[in-house]
Amino acid sequence: MELLIKNARVVDSSQDCIFDVYINKGIIYEIGKDLQKDCEVLDGEGYILSPSFIDLHSHFREPGYTYKEDLLSGSRAAVRGGYTAINLMANTKPVCSSMDVIDKVLEKAREIDLVDIHQCASITEDLLGKSIDHLYQLTPKVRFISDDGKGVSNSRIMLEAMVFAKEKDLTIISHAENEELVDIDTRLAENMMTWRDIALSKFTGCKLHLAHVSTKEAMKDVIDGKKQGARVTCEVTPHHIALIEETKYRVNPPMRKMEDVNFIIKAMQDNFVDVIATDHAPHSVQDKLNGAPGISGLETSFPVCYTKLVEEGHITMNKLSELMSKNPAKIMRLNKGEIKIGFDGDLVLLDIKSKYNLDCSQFLSKGHNSPFDGKSVVGKVMCTIKAGRIIYKAKTDKNEEWISK
């Protein structure tokens, strides 16, 4: 598969220049000016060409909850949003506690062949918080373990899991929320669990990734842990940096105060935030009416983040690429996230002049649950490229929207 992208503004974490990019056999083979190749040519003039986005934290609901989302609908939503690699959480039915369940997910994802799917295993068996015995049958296909959706309340169990993860070079993704306190005060629940898990990570040497950090106190603990040498990374979500608690939209953890948002953005500017992750959590209309927490976020992530962070002058497009592409690729140990010779040809064309209102009724995801419906945004994904193959094109004045599956 060969593809030549011409005259694009190439922007990743470390560059911002007009270049041609040639992809051969799925790999970025040549970058330069006035390249000439006998292959498919994509005109990038007037657009930004960036590494495709990588999501460390998504829920595709398969198996068990496919009325909310499935691997195909989730993958289609991902490529429309500019994503080509997705890390899925384990809270399915049955839970991804066994290689049998995990292998079925990975095999179906390979058959769909839209995005690279990586599947977490649960930290505790069936998310019950009682045993980690199932971890001993995991294969190297699994790189992350997480009980996302709830915290591991038993500190001894979490310690045992971290010891195991250190031995097997796994990363623990922590849903830092103390289940015993969450009904009393969600802020206290997040802050206490964040402090505990960082302390356990320092004690064991385990790689710890903290999901959806939302309070300034939790972020302060992350900063302190990093300064003390803990192997800690963290993510924030688009909704926790673009919205505040007055939004009254149910997510877990909840939206916080403006002072939390401002502190997290400052931490982002100071390089203490590693990743922007969607926590894509689609629901049916009825489940959402019944109070299910979560946002369908893959299709709105880039425009929301570009509008809030870059348009408002908080960070550069280079920094946004680092948070949405380079750093998640590094944490997931993928050969993606930068536009350099030898890296995977997973790229996205972006129109940063496009201004429009989000229409969540038109999502490719089965879940249309989003507080961003009708929001005015700047920045649109025009084309998604995976391994040199165009897999998505947005609607233009000349063409209808197109997706390869």
Catalytic residue annotation:
279
Q: For strand 40-43 and strand 116-119, is the pairing parallel, antiparallel, or unpaired?
A: unpaired
DSSP code at position 369: -
DSSP string, 28-61: EEEEESS---SSEEEE-TTSEEEEPEEEEEE---
Per DSSP, helices labelled H in 113-237 are 155-168, 186-204, 216-227
* Phi/psi at 299 (5° precision): -85, -10
Run of H or E residues at 276: strand 275-276
Per DSSP, helices labelled H in 174-237 are 186-204, 216-227
Q: Which of 172, 239, 241, 245 is nearest to 205 (CA)?
A: 172
CB 309 within 8 A of CB 382: no
CB 5 within 8 A of CB 323: no
Instruction: Note if the bond before 303 is cis, omega within 30 degrees.
Output: no
For tokens 């390869």, name the residue.
Answer: 404
Run of H or E residues at 73: helix 71-80
